[in-house]
Amino acid sequence: MLSEIAKKKISELKTKFPERKSAILPAMHMVLEEVGFYNKDILKQVAGLLGLSEMEVAETVSFYTYFPKEGVGKYHIQVCTNLSCMLLGAEGLVSYLEEKLKIKVGETTPDGIFTLSAVECLGSCGTAPMMQVNQIYYENLNRAKIDQIIDDLKMKK
Amino acid sequence: MVTLTIDGKQIIVEEGTTILKAAEKLGIEIPTFCYHDQLETVGACRMCLVEVEKIPKLQVACATVVSEGMVVRTDSPQVVNARKGVLEFLLINHPLDCPVCDKGGECELQNLVFKYGSDKSRFVEGKRRYIVDPKSKYDDLAIGPHIIRNMNRCIQCRKCVRFINEIAGEDDLGTFKRGSKTEINILPDIPIDNPYSGNVTEICPVGALTSKSFRYKIRVWQTEAIPTVCPQCADGCNIRIWKKDERIYRITSRRNDEVDEGFLCDKGRFGFDFVNHPDRLKNPLIKKNGKLSEAPWDETIKFVTSSFMKIKGETGSDSLAGVGSGKVTNEDNYLFQKFFRSVIGTNNIDHRVDSKNLLPSPDTQIRNKYFGMKNTINQIANSKLILVLGCDLEKEHPIINLRVIKARRKGSSILVANPVSTRLNRFAQNGLLYKQRTETDFLNGVLREIIETKQYDNAKSGFSSSEIEDLRRKVSSSDSLKALQTTGIGAENIKSFVNALVKAESIIILCGAEIISNPKNVEIINSLYDLIRLTGHQDKDNSGVNLLWKHSNSQGTLDCGILPDRLPGYVRISGKPGLNFNLMLEAVNQGKIKAMYIMGSDPLSEYPDREYVKSTLGKLEILLVQDILITETAKIANVILPGASFAEKEGTFTNVEGRVQKLNKAFDPLADSKADGQIICLLAQAMGHEFEYRTPKDIFKELTGVSPIYSGMDWETLGLSKKQGKVK
C-alpha cells in the first residue's frame, strides 16, 4: 500500500535518530500523507522498514488520536474535549454533532463520510471551543457554525 | 558509603542505593505497585512517595538515590496523606469487584488500601469500563492460552509488559492508548505466546491478569501453600503447591535467586494435571490370562517377591535387572539400588533409557566432566560469552534460558550452534546451523581456526607446545578439513565464531540433550574442554563446560548410584560391574535376564528404538513397572505398582547444578498408591531384609553417610530456607 518512495524515505529515517523508536512518528506522518489511515498491514510494513517490532509501532500509534485507523470516514471530525473547550461548551457540541450525524463518538456514518471523535487538547485554547476536521482547524465554534461546516463538507463530499 | 537517616534511624549504605532499598534494610516498609527488583525502575505508580528534608516535594523512594546526610521520613502526615491520595485515585476507576476477583485475599491493592487507604470515597461518577463484548458485562478477554485479562481492574503499573519485554525478551504484550484509557493488550489476533506467560498472573498486583486454570475455582485463603520443588525439568525451580484436600489448585513461584529468580515456565506453573488425573494408577495390577486386573498389595508383593526369588534361585541374581529414573527422588533411587545390590545381589542397575550412547562414569568420587555442570546457574548471567550447543534451551531448560537472555541484556555475546534453529537464535550474535551429527567436525574446524591463526592463549592454556602440535595435527588433518565441508558451515562463519570466542573475557558452554546422547558425546565434550583451555578460561569462575540433564533428578540419580558400575557417590564397584540398559536388553534377548523392575522410567517412549525395546521387554518372564500413570511400558508389564506423584511424597531432588533441594508432601498418595521408597521397603521386607525407614529423612541420613559427595548435608536445612544443599 505504501509507494516505493515512501518506503525508501521511511527506511532512511532509521539512521536519523539515536533511538530507533523515535522514527515511528515521522514515519507515521508519511503514512498519513500518502494513505490517509493505518491498518495492521501498514504497521507491520513500517515496523519492518524501521527494524522495530510490530508491537512497538502499534503501541506508539495508539497513543495518538491523530492517526486514523482504516475505516475512518472521509472527514475525521475531532472535537477537543479538554479543559478550555469543555468550559466553553464542547460537551454540548459533541452531543449536537452526534444528533446531527446520527452517530456516537467513535463511530462513522453509514455512507463513510464522517467519523466523530472526542480528543484531548489540540493546542488552540484561545479559540475554544474548537475541532479539527482532517488537517483543518475550525475555531470559536457554536451550533450555527457547525451546521455550516457540515453542510459545506456534505456539498464537497 | 553513604550515611542517611530514615524515620530517625541511621543507616550506612553503598553509594547508588535507592531510598527504598535502604529502608528495606532497616525493616521499614514502603508500599509500591510498579516496583519490581528484577525490572527497570519506572517510578510510575507514586505509591512509594516519601518526604526528604530540604526537598520541597515528596520523592519516589524506588528511584531516588540516597545522598550523604539525607533525612527521610516515611511516616510523616504528608506521606500518609499522599498514600491516601494515590490510593483514592487508583480506586476511582477500580471496579472493587473483590468478591468475585481471583486476586482477592492476596491483592496488593486490597492490602495497601486496607493498610494506608481512606475508608471513604468521594467519587460519585460512573466507573470506566473496557467493554470487550457489549453483550457481556464481565469484560474478560483471553489474551493467551493461559491468561485472562480484565482491564477494568488494571492500575497501569505495566509490570506485566515490562516482564515480557525485559525478562522474557518477548514483545507479545503491549501498552496501548494513554491516560485513563491506557490498555494492556496483545496485537489483534496474536495471542501471547511464550513459555513464560504465566508469570504475569503472579506479577500483576491486582486481578487484571489471572490464570485461566485457577480462576473461579476456589478462594486463595481456603487453600494451603506447600513449599516444594518443580518436577518438570532439571532446573529445579522452587515452587508452592496450593492445595485443598487432595487436589492441587495452582502452582506459584517460591523465589530462590540462586535458581529461578522468582520466575516459572508455563509448563511448571500449569502442567500439574497429571497429579489429579483420572487415569492415575490407584491399585496394584497383575496380568492374569493376558488381562491386567486389580490385586491387593499383599498378594502383589507376594507374587513379585516369590517370582524374583524363584528366578534368583534358578538362574542366579544376575538374571534380574533394575531400571531407576531421573524423575524420582534421591531417597527412592538410593533404596532402589540398595534393593538390587543387597537384596537381589546384582549390579544390573541403570536409568539411562533414553540413549544408546552412555558417557563414562567418574574415576574418582566426584562428578567428572561428563557428569554435570561446572558452573552454577547464577554464573551463567555473569559470563561474557555463552555458547549454547546442541540444545533447544527454551524447551529443555526454560529457566536457564532466562539467564542467557539476562546475560544478553547485560551485553554478553550469545552464540548458538544447533542442527535446527531454536527460539534462542533471535538473541544470538551468531547462530550457526550444522548438519546433524557433524558436531565434532564443526568443533575441529573451530579449534583449527584458533590454532592456525595463533589466537590461543599460550600462557593461560597450560598446553605444552607438543600438546598444541598434537592438537593441531588432529584438527588440521586432510580428513578433518574434508569433514568440515560436510557440516554445512562456511569458513567465514567459523572465522566470525572464533573471533567472538577469542575476544570474550569468559565463556560458558551449555550442552543439551543432543550432545549428551550423541554417538560422539565424549569426543565433543573433550573438544569443548580443549576450546576452554585454548582460550585460557579453564580456571575462571564464569567459564566452563556444562552438561544439562533432562529430568528433575537426573543428577541425583547419577549421584545415588543408579549405574551398573558405580555405587552411590561414584564409589567404584570392587567386582565385575553390572549391565547398562543397552546390555540389559541384549541379555534379555539372550535369555540371560528374566525379570526387570522398572521404576518411574518409560523405555518404550524414551529409548531411540521403540520396536526393539518393545519386543525385547516382551520376552521377560516378569516385567514389573512402578509408575503413576499407565505408561507405554506399563501397558506390556505383568505387574504394575502404583507410585506416588511428587506432590504426595517427601524427598530430595538434585538439580542440574547439583543443588540438593527438598520436596514436601502436600497430601497423601492417591487411593491405594504408595511412595516409591515405601514400595521398595515392602518388597525388601517380604524377602527377609530389614529395610526399616520411618521417613525419607532416615534414608537421606543413610545416603549422606554412604555417599561422599552428599556427606555433611543436613535434612533440616535443605530446601526450605535460603541455605540449600549444594555439592561441588
- pLDDT number for residue B724: 54
* Residue in B171, B178, B179 nearest the CB of A55: B171
Mean pLDDT for B342-346 is 96
Q: What CATH number is given for B285-356+554-726 in this structure?
A: 3.40.50.740
Q: Residue B150: pLDDT band by 50, 70, 90 thresholds?
A: very high
Q: What percent of chain A has pLDDT over 90?
A: 84
Nearest residue to A118 via CA among A153, A71, A86:
A86
Show me where the domains of chain A are located.
Answer: 4-63, 75-156
Tell me the shortest Cα–Cα distance from B186 to chain A, in angstroms.
Answer: 8
Write out the CATH class of domain B377-547.
alpha beta
DSSP letters spanning B13-82: E-TT-BHHHHHHHHT-----SS--TTS-----S-TTEEEETT-SS-EETTTPBP-TT-EEESSSHHHHHH
Tens-place pLDDT, residues B583-641: 999 999 999 999 999 999 999 999 999 999 999 999 999 999 999 999 999 999 999 99
Chain A interface includes B182 (CB < 8 A): no
CB contact under 8 A, A55 and B179: no
- Average pLDDT on B566-577 reads 92
A54 contact residues in B (CB cutoff 8 A): 171, 187
Q: What is the ipTM of this complex?
A: 0.89
Residue B721 confidence (pLDDT) above 60: no
Q: Does B176 touch chain A (CB under 8 A)?
A: yes
Query: For residue B372, what pLDDT is reported?
Result: 85
Tell me the pLDDT band of B137, cut-offs 50, 70 and 90: confident
Please determine, looking at this structure, whether the domain spanning A75-156 carries the CATH number 3.40.1190.20: no
Chain A interface with B: residues with Cβ < 8 Å: 40, 53-56, 58-59, 62-63, 120
**Tens-place pLDDT, residues B401-451:** 999 999 999 999 999 999 999 999 999 999 999 999 999 999 999 999 999
Class of domain B100-108+120-276: alpha beta
pLDDT at residue number B719: 61
Domain B2-75: CATH class, spelled out: alpha beta
**Which of B174, B177, B179 lies nearest to residue A55, judging by beta carbons?**
B174
* Interval B76-85 mean pLDDT: 96
User: Which among A41, A42, A62 is the top mutation candidate for probing chain B, defined by the most B β-carbons within 10 Å of its own β-carbon?
Assistant: A62
Mean pLDDT of B186-212: 95
Band of residue B716 on the pLDDT scale cut at 50, 70, 90: confident
The whole-number pLDDT of residue B253 equals: 97
DSSP, collapsed to helix, strand or coil, labels residue B166 as helix
Average pLDDT of the residues of chain B? 94
Q: Where are the domains of chain B?
A: 2-75, 100-108+120-276, 285-356+554-726, 377-547
Higher pLDDT, B728 or B61: B61
- Cα A105 to Cα A119, A157, B208, B432, B565: the distances in Å are 10, 21, 27, 54, 78
pLDDT of B306 higher than 50: yes
Quick one: average pLDDT of B37-43? 95
Q: Do A56 and B171 touch (CB under 8 A)?
A: yes
Which fold would CATH assign to domain A4-63? Answer: Arc Repressor Mutant, subunit A (1.10.10)
B216 shares contact with chain A (CB less than 8 Å): no
pLDDT for the residue A157: 65
The beta-carbon neighbor of A59 closest among B172, B176, B188 is B176
Q: What is the pLDDT of residue B722?
A: 47
- In which band, very low, low, confident or very high, does the pLDDT at B180 lie, cut at 50, 70 and 90? confident
Q: B401: how many CB neighbours lie within 10 A of its CB? A: 28
Mind giving me the DSSP string for A31-77? HHHHTSSB-HHHHHHHHHHHT--HHHHHHHHHH-TTSPBTT--SEEE
